[in-house]
Amino acid sequence: MLAAPQRNVDARGGAPLRALVTGITGQDGSLVAELLLARGYEVTGLTRSSPTEGLHAAEHLRDQIELIRGELLDAGGLAAAVAEIAPDELYHFAAPSAVPASWQRPARTFAQIAVATAALLEGVRDHSPHTRVFVAASGAMFGATDESPQRERSACRPESPYATAKLAAHQLVGQLRAHDGLFACSGILYNHESVRRPQTFVPRKICRAAAAIKLGLAEEVVVRDPSAIRDWSFAGDIVHGAWLMLQQDAPDDYILASGVAHTVQDLAEIAFARVDLDARDHIRVDATQARAPEPVPRIGDPTRARDRLGWQPTVSFEQLIGRMVDCDLRALERSSSVQ
């Protein structure tokens, strides 16, 4: 495995590197903040709520990080945050993540994803040109492409306002990199999970249900399409890949994915087996909520990241699901004992 260059101090007399993280209260933002703190960075998190309010996934980091207010719909405020912090590295994870909701509010979705990305890149160009930027794109932008697995140069045919906005953000990274010389990288991320993932996401919903059913707190879990195919990775591995991108000599775009296809049924079988149950006895399919089949499986090819960054996943799909079920089992046992 290739070793990443060590950039834990900068040119300012050996001072620690400064990082600005958007979306720090979420899964990815909190995980990358942990990684950066462990490497000696000074970390500032951009949060839309008051710093005195809950930090959700990053609450345990409150005493180790600085916070600055910022809202994705406030382009001027985003640029001002970049100017104030002048970070050495910027990790942009903040974005709405619900694809169905993007159909209800396409203009807002586009502004929160594409316009916010443009504002941050413009802020770097105008106020902090030394900043290295990571922007979280999405494998959803490939949409009805003509190949699977998808590679960095695969044709993009997005099929939702969310995917269109992510493609626009991805293209902006490349355009400002070429035109203005920014050190900006787009990470094309496929599905990635951890114990910090909210229960509104299918993997956590199923893992939580398996734990609840084992404890006698539930009887079944409803899924829309057990045959749906996804490329799932451990979120901690994904944010490590984001960090590796910004340690290179030159910026580029990379797919971060496992490269392995799994169905929702596969996930359910592993989750229920973890608690010695048979998923077939507890899964109910609600076909009325099923989405239209995707034209090609959404699987990412991580070859470039592995060859150029030395990036290697450390947690297998089975280990990931096992961790999530175990976490939910402990949490439900504690809450049950309290009651």
Would you tell me the crossing angle of helices 235-245 and 27-38 to the nearest 10 degrees? 60
- Tens digits of per-residue pLDDT, 87-116? 999 999 999 988 888 999 999 999 999 999
Separation between Cα atoms, residue 144 and residue 156, nearest integer Å: 7
Instruction: Choose between 7 and 15: higher pLDDT.
Output: 15
Q: Are 304 and 255 in contact (CB under 8 A)?
A: yes
- Tens digits of per-residue pLDDT, 270-327? 999 999 999 999 999 987 766 777 778 999 999 999 999 999 999 999 999 999 999 9
Would you tell me the crossing angle of helices 202-214 and 317-338 to the nearest 10 degrees? 50
Q: Mean pLDDT for the chain?
A: 93
Q: What is the mean pLDDT of residues 137-155?
A: 97
pLDDT at residue 28 greater than cutoff 80: yes
What was the pLDDT predicted at 12? 46
Q: Are 60 and 24 in contact (CB under 8 A)?
A: no
- Residue 301, amino acid: D
Tokens read off for 119: 């504002």
Stated pTM of the model = 0.94
Separation between Cα atoms, residue 282 and residue 124, nearest integer Å: 51
DSSP 287-301: GGGPPPPPSS---B-
Helix (H) or strand (E) holding 177: helix 161-180
pLDDT at residue 4 greater than cutoff 50: no
pLDDT at residue 50 greater than cutoff 80: no
User: Other C-beta atoms within 10 Å of 186: how many?
Assistant: 29
Structural domains present in the chain: 18-189 (3.40.50.720), 202-229+261-298+315-338 (3.90.25.10)
Q: What is the mean pLDDT of residues 118-127?
A: 98
Separation between Cα atoms, residue 304 and residue 307, nearest integer Å: 5
What was the pLDDT predicted at 1? 34
The mean-pLDDT minimum among 35-39, 170-174, 223-227 falls in 223-227
Separation between Cα atoms, residue 329 and residue 211, nearest integer Å: 5
pLDDT at residue 13 greater than cutoff 70: no
What was the pLDDT predicted at 5? 47
Tokens read off for 130: 């030394």
Separation between Cα atoms, residue 257 and residue 190, nearest integer Å: 5
Separation between Cα atoms, residue 262 and residue 160, nearest integer Å: 22
Q: Are 206 and 320 in contact (CB under 8 A)?
A: no
Q: Residue 8 — very low, low, confident or very high, per pLDDT cuts 50/70/90?
A: low
What was the pLDDT predicted at 288? 78
Query: Strands 89-92 and 66-69, how do they pair?
Result: unpaired
Q: Using alpha carbons, select from 55, 46, 53, 151 the residue that is nearest to residue 95.
A: 46
Q: Using alpha carbons, select from 309, 339, 154, 321 the residue that is nearest to residue 230.
A: 321
Q: Residue 10 — very low, low, confident or very high, per pLDDT cuts 50/70/90?
A: low
- Tens digits of per-residue pLDDT, 230-281? 999 999 999 999 999 999 999 999 999 999 999 999 999 999 999 999 999 9
- Spatial neighbors of 293 by CB under 8 A, at least 6 apart, are none
The pair phi, psi for residue 183, each rounded to 5°, is: -90, 85
Separation between Cα atoms, residue 136 and residue 35, nearest integer Å: 17
What was the pLDDT predicted at 9? 53
